[in-house]
Each structure stands twice: as structure tokens, then as C-alpha cells.
Chains A and B, each alone.
Chain A
Amino acid sequence: MTGLDAYRQQVRAWLAEQAPAEGWLPSEPAALAADSEDGARTAADTLARARRAQAALFEAGYTGISWPPEYGGQGLSNREQVVFNQESEQYDLPVFPFLIGLGMCGPTVLSAGTPEQKERYIRPMLRGEEIWCQMFSEPGAGSDVAGIRTRAARQFDGSWLVRGHKIWTSGAQYCDFGLLLARSDPDSTRHAGLTMFVVDMHSPGIRIEPLRQMNGGSGFNEIFFEDVVLPPDATVGEVGRGWHVAIVTLMNERVAIGAGRSRGGSAMSAELAARARAAGREGDSYLLDQIADVYVREQVLKYLSEAVNEAVLAGRTPGPQGSIAKLFSTDLGRRGNAAARRLAGSRAQAWEPGDAEAARQAQQLLSAPGWSIAGGTDEIMRNILGERVLGLAREPRPS
């Protein structure tokens, strides 16, 4: 048995023992499950349950698997991380609030932060004691992050005074820390003159206001910085190099979102098929075609992520499958919604009070536009594939 096989056995045994005891088993069909950004998920008990789960993962050594041991990681390779991802896929680990920290902020601090910052922030992040968010987008800077206007002005004592307005921050109302991208050089334009900061979200002058989404949820927030003072050591990476630091964060986000949605295997088509059978719709060939199409694409998405895993496990550099997965999965979600609508018919637009299935389906329909926007719009993803993978020329920029 290789070391990796032994590791897999160890992970499998631990999960098999912990998951039923901790209630980490999928409680309902994962397909068409509530949108992960649903505000209801962030209720206090959900948060407490998430913290317990994250702490248990830390104690067992299954978080920060490839991160350096001196900061609380396990010091293993991406291969062990892949093994853990594969083995935990079938369970419903309730660690949603930590995904932005572990998926984006942690890697950013580890790649650009000072030893002191790593010492201070990484371990509590891994233990689930401190939750992180990221604050890049602004009302005037969405897909084009370089349009950032939030101002960070250096004071005489080396501290920073921040004034501005951020938007689309997931989980800001319960976060302890966040990564902030702000303009440190007032005379700069575009990508130059930006700096990355760590922000204590409990600092005076920070005002958080939830946004109400079109699906009724409030997972996103607006954040107003009204003369917030950040200490001199709040900068992550060099002053003025914030854009380069941010790229690390964004690349991690896109992989995390694409991979996140690929979970669930063929659950959506299986649920649709069961409902079609229950409704006696075996003769509806159009519906059957839609369900089979969802199945085909679920399988393809699974194979894409398996191909990435296999490449990592074999020590090869993965192809562009990870970037493709995000684009592909938003399309798959829309196709799943279309099949569900055909199945429901008029019940898709008006349903009996208390019909949870119909309500959940409507929630999916109203969440779908967000999938194609959050973490890089479909159009930005296509630009990335066209420019970075295929090497096509960029759009000319105004000089």
C-alpha cells in the first residue's frame, strides 16, 4: 500500500465514524438544494454548527492539509488534499462560512503576507475561530476590479485611513476579518496604486448593510468605510502591488466556485427522474431528453473534476478543466431548472401554500442569474479562457 492509499484509508475511516455522529450526512437530495448564499443558512445555530465542524476537522488534521505546519497546516501536498476532497464528497460537511477564508484569503495571506500575519491569522482561520470575507467589488468596480475608488490614505504615524464603499461581500455580518483592496495612491489609475489590507471587521467606522437579493435572500452585503483606521502592519504584500496579490485570491475563488458546484454527482438528474416517474411522465420524451441532458452534463462535470484530481495525484499539471468547470456548471444549473419547470408545469409559477418542493424550485430559478455573475461573470470567464488559455488578443484598452 502506498502512503497515499494509507492516507485515504485513514480519511475514510475517520469520516465514516465522525459523519453520522456529527450529523454530516446529506439530509435531503443535494440536487436543487438551497442556494449556498441563502441568508437563512447564516443563522446563529448554523454558524455554531459550522464552527464545531471546522474545529473537529482541525483537531483531526484535515484542514489546511497542504498548508505549512508552522502555521497550523499539515504540511502535506495537494495530493493528500485531493484525497480528502474525494473522500469527503459524499458527506455534507457544514463548513460553508469558512470557504472564502480557506479558499481565498488563507492562500493570499500565505503567499503575500508577512511571517507575523501568517502566525496571527492562519491558525484561528483553520480552527474555525475566525471567519473571513473578501472586499474587492465596489458599485463602480465589478468585473473591472481596477475601477476601485475606496481610498486608503497613509497617516503620519504609518497607519491607514480608509474611506469608501464595498459591495457583494458574502457573510460580512458574521465575519471577523476581511481582505480589502483599496487605492493607496490617489494619483494612480487602473491596476497601479492598489494595496491589499487585512481588516478587523469589528473596527470602528465599518458599517455593514445587507443587500436584499432578487431571490429574497440576504447573503451579500454593502460595506461602508467611514474613516476606518488600519494599523501600519495591515498591508498584505507590498504597497501599490495589491492587484498582483488580488489575482491569487481571484484565481482561487474561481476554482473554489467551479469545484463547489460540481459536488453532488448525478443528484439533480436522479431527483428529476424520480419525480418524473412519480408523476407518470415516462412518455414525455421532451422531458426525458432534458433529464438525460442534465445527467450527461453532471457526468461530464464529474469527469472534469476527476481529471483534475487524477492529474494532481499523478504529479502532472492539471489542464484548464478547473476554469471550465465554473462556466459549465452555471449552464448545467440552468438546464436543471428548465427540466424542473417542465416537470412542474403551471405549478412552477403558482403553488399551494406549504408546497416546499415548489418553493424550493422557485428559489433555484430566482438564484440562477447569480450563478452566472458571482465569482466572475460568464463573460469574464470566457475572456479568461480566450486570453489566458487560447492566447487570443485582449480587448484594446483606452490609453
Chain B
Amino acid sequence: MDAGTARTDAQAAFRQELRSFTKAHGTSQAVRALLDDPAGYDPAVWELMAKQLGLPGLIVGEEHGGSGAGAAEAVIALEELGAVMLPSPFLPTLLGTVAVLAGGRAAGRILPAVAAGQQRLALAGADVASTGLASTGLASTGGEVSATADGDGGWRLTGQVPCVLDGAGASLILVVASTGEGPALFAVQAGAPGLTAVALETLDLTRREARLSFDAVPAELASDPDQAAWLTRVRALAALAVAAGSLGGIRRCLEMATGYAKERTAFGRTIGSFQAVKHMCADMLVDLECTRAAVEHAAKVADRADESGPPGEAAAAALPAACSVAKAYASDAVVRAATTLIQVHGGLGFTWEHDAHLFYRRAFSDEQLFGDAAAHRAQLAAALVVPA
């Protein structure tokens, strides 16, 4: 098995712990048992992920009871969970945490409960349209929620967000909404009056998504007005998080395809000895290493962006492009990998019983979440071609 990258001994140990965990709890059988489950995950396993791996509070600071880890560790966790598609609230909770941290204002109130495993988060309205015009930057599909001050220091949200990961299951929803002074982040309790969550049919059977409607829903402001770049940072890191999961998926697709190509025989030879099949696997390997390089680079930039001083500022400025590079490459690569996985398996890969279609479904879900490849390339092109 691909050893994966670890820059420190602690990261190597963390990856090893995750692998032991997913080996025990992320079996095909366990994943399949949850496909029809309304919640879509096993609460007992999520509790273990909290106790043994500290995943709910992974990037929450130690002052709030979290592990205080950075993007590098988050990317490792996402890669390892993505490799087995173990369903859990980890990704939506991580996305919500990223938003709360970037917003700044409500970290102390929200994050201790998250780190303690008592709060499942969802992030709504930070998604980007899959067809952003280069000249206008990324359009937001979440711009339809607007916030108005209720006069008592609170806010009311009205509008709709179409595809929210864990939107019906989360206990606290972080919503990007427009105010008179630009976009701001709001926290909404599940079950708040005026909030409707409609569960959606999902291509990826291991993910739960909901359409959220807001009708004058009471909300708490969770971003500081002086945190101008917070939304850019949230979008960049959300795209990176999905790309990191794709990295794990590509790795697993390559392992499955090469494993099969080594044992399946046709015309008296293993099919991996045919160049037509061998070269498909080689191209997957290229995609795996390129995705890994892009994702890990972006994570490095993200961690550097947390440092103070000029190097941190330079990294913060470079972060959106680095994350767009990772998401643009990973989105295309994960789709290629899952498609190739099925092709290498032939008819077997087209059956319900084989796991290939689960990876195929996940790949096309990853492709679209937080901007597809073309949207991120449009964003990059805007910076490259259009004068500032």
C-alpha cells in the first residue's frame, strides 16, 4: 500500500492510527450497511472517532478543548477516510469549524462543544457556482440567503441553499448570508423556527445532503466585520478539504484496479500484462501523485497562512490559488480514476455488488462540491489574465 506522506513522526503516527481505525471500522460491509440508513452514519463509530482519534476537534485550538492540529493533519484524515468512504459527520463538521474559525467572532461559544463531540456542524451557502465567469470571479450559489438585523442584537435569515452536506442531520448550521455590508457568517440551531430541511436524493450513497429553506430564522452573527477575507479563506479551504478526500479515493481506486489487474487472467495472461490495461493504471498513478503534490502543497500554504508576519501574509495571499490548483486537478483526476476503476474491472465493475460504483458516485459528488474544475480554473484565469 502507498505509504502516504508524513513530514513529521507525529503525522506518520496519526496516519497509522487512522489506517488501523478505517481497517477495523471502514470495511466495505460496514459502509454498505449504512447506504440506506436515514442518518447515513453510525453514531457509535463517530463516538469512537472522537475518543480515539479526536476528529471532531481536530483543528479546534487546545484552548477550546481541541487538538490544535493544522491543515496538514486535516488533509491526512480526509485522505484516509476518503480512501474507504467511511460515512461520518467529519467533513461537514470540519467545514463548519473552518468557517467558525475564519469568522472569528463565535469560536469560543461554538467550538468547545464541537471538540467535545456534542455538536455536529454543517456549512451552508459557501458553495460556488460551477460556471463562474472569469471576469466576475466565483459566483455563489448560496447568495440567496439574506440577513436582516432584528433590532435586538440578533439576526433573521431568509432564503434558500440547495445542497448542504449533513444539512438535515447537523445540530448547528453555519450559514453564509448577505447583509447590507457584504457577506457574513451566521449560526443557526437545528430546529429553529422557520428553518426547513428537505433531504435530497444523492448520487453518492454515503453522503447525506439537504435543501435548507430559511423563513425569518433567528440566527447569531459568527463573523467579525473586520475579517474581510474570511469568506475567501473558507471557500479555499472547503475546496481543499474535498480535494483531500478525492486524493484518498484516487489512491483506493488505483489499489483496487492494480490488485485486480494482477489476479484476473484473460487470453492466458494476467490482464495487467496487457499494455492497454497497464497504461490505464500508469495514468492513474500519475494522477495520484499529481493530486497528492497539489493537495499537500495547498495544505502547507494553509498552515503557513496561520503564522504571523510577512511570510504568513504572503501565504494567505497565495492560499486561494493553491487551493484552486488542488481542487481543479483533483476534481478531474478523481473522475478519471473512478471511471478507469470500472473499466479495468469490466462487467464485474458494473455490478451493484462491486464497490466500484460507490467510488464512481463519490467521485462525481466530489467533482461538484465547492466548485468543479472549470470553476476553479476560471478563478485562476481571472487572476492570471484579467488585470488587477
Which of A288, A300, A386 is within 8 Å of B293, CB to CB? A300
Tell me how far the C-beta of B103 lies from the nearest C-beta in chain A, rounded to whole angstroms. Answer: 29
The answer to whether the Cβ of B297 comes within 8 Å of any Cβ in the partner chain is: yes
Q: Does A277 contact B (CB under 8 A)?
A: yes
Q: State how many angstroms separate the Cβ of A327 from the closest Cβ of chain B.
A: 6
Is A273 positioned at the interface, with any CB of B under 8 Å from its CB?
Answer: yes
Give the interface centre of B133, B286, B297, B374 by most chain A CB atoms within 10 Å: B286
CB proximity to A under 8 Å, residues B260-315: 261-262, 269-270, 272-275, 277-279, 281-283, 285-286, 289-290, 292-294, 296-297
Residues of A within 8 A of B387 (CB): 277
Question: Quick one: closest A residue to B261, CB to CB?
Answer: A392
The one of B262, B325, B385 that contacts A288, using a Cβ cutoff of 8 Å: B385
Q: Give A385 to B284 CA distance when docked, in angstroms.
A: 10
Pair A296/B289 contact, Cβ less than 8 Å: no
- The B-contacting residues of A in range 296-312, CB under 8 angstroms, are 296-297, 299-300, 303-304, 306-307
A312 CB to closest chain B CB (Å) equals 14
Q: Which of B262, B279, B380, B381 contacts A379 (CB 8 A)?
A: B279
Q: How far is the CA of A383 from the CA of B296 in the complex (A)?
A: 27
CB pair A288–B134 under 8 Å, yes or no, is yes
Residues of A near B377 (CB, < 8 A) are 288-289, 292-293, 296
A382 to B277, CA, bound (A): 10
Q: Chain A nearest CB: distance from B71 CB in Å? A: 15
Residue pair B297, A306 in contact (C-beta under 8 Å)? yes
Q: B124 an interface residue at 8 Å Cβ cutoff?
A: no
Taking the nearest CB of chain A, how far is it from the CB of B287, in angstroms?
10
Does A295 have its Cβ within 8 Å of any Cβ on chain B? yes
Interface residues on A, range: 35 or more
CB nearest to B5 among chain A residues = A307
Q: Does the CB pair A277–B385 fall under 8 Å?
A: yes
Least CB distance from B273 to A in Å reads 4
B135 pairs with A282, CB closer than 8 A? yes
Whether the Cβ atoms of B293 and A296 lie closer than 8 Å is no
B385, A386: Cβ atoms closer than 8 Å: no
Could you tell me the distance between the alpha carbons of A288 and B133 in the complex, rounded to whole angstroms?
10
Pairwise interchain contact B290-A393, C-beta atoms closer than 8 A: no
Distance from B19 Cβ to chain A, minimum over Cβ atoms (Å): 18
User: Which residues of B sit under 8 angstroms from A328, Cβ to Cβ?
Assistant: 286, 290
Chain A, Cβ-Cβ closest to B285: A385
**Contact yes or no, B385 A276, CB < 8 A:** yes
Q: B285 and A273: CB pair below 8 A?
A: no
**Is B91 in the interface zone, CB < 8 Å from A?**
no
Residues of B within 8 A of A300 (CB): 290, 293-294, 325, 329
Contacts A285-B378, A293-B377: A383 and B278 contacting too (C-beta < 8 A)? yes
Q: B258 at interface (Cβ–Cβ under 8 A)?
A: yes
| A299-B278 in contact (CB<8A) | no
The verdict on A387 contacting chain B, using a C-beta distance below 8 Å, is yes
Considering only residues 336-388 of chain B, those with a C-beta below 8 Å from chain A are: 374, 376-378, 380-382, 384-387
Q: How far is the CA of A282 from the CA of B385 in the complex (A)?
A: 7
Let me know if B334 is at the binding interface, CB within 8 A.
no
The interface residues of chain A lying within 8 Å CB-to-CB of B296 are 303, 307
B328 within 8 A of A: yes
One of A39-47, A157-165, A198-206, A317-325 at the interface: A317-325
Given A277-B387, A324-B289, A395-B275, does the pair A382, B282 have CB atoms closer than 8 Å? yes
* Known contacts A296-B329, A307-B296, A379-B275; A291 and B385 CB within 8 A of each other: yes
The distance in angstroms between the C-alpha atoms of A319 and B289, with both chains bound, is: 9
Chain A contacts for B254, CB-based, 8 A: 390
Which A residues, 341 to 399, have Cβ-Cβ distances below 8 Å to chain B? 379, 381-383, 385-387, 389-396
Residues of B within 8 A of A321 (CB): 289, 293
Whether A283 sits at the interface, judged by CB under 8 Å, is yes
Contact A269 B384 (CB under 8 A): yes
6 new A-B contacts at CB < 8 Å, known A307-B5, A392-B262: A276-B385, A277-B386, A288-B381, A292-B328, A292-B377, A383-B278
Q: Can you give 15 A-B contacts (C-beta < 8 A)?
A: A288-B377, A288-B381, A292-B376, A293-B328, A299-B297, A300-B293, A300-B329, A306-B293, A307-B5, A324-B290, A386-B272, A386-B278, A392-B261, A392-B262, A395-B275
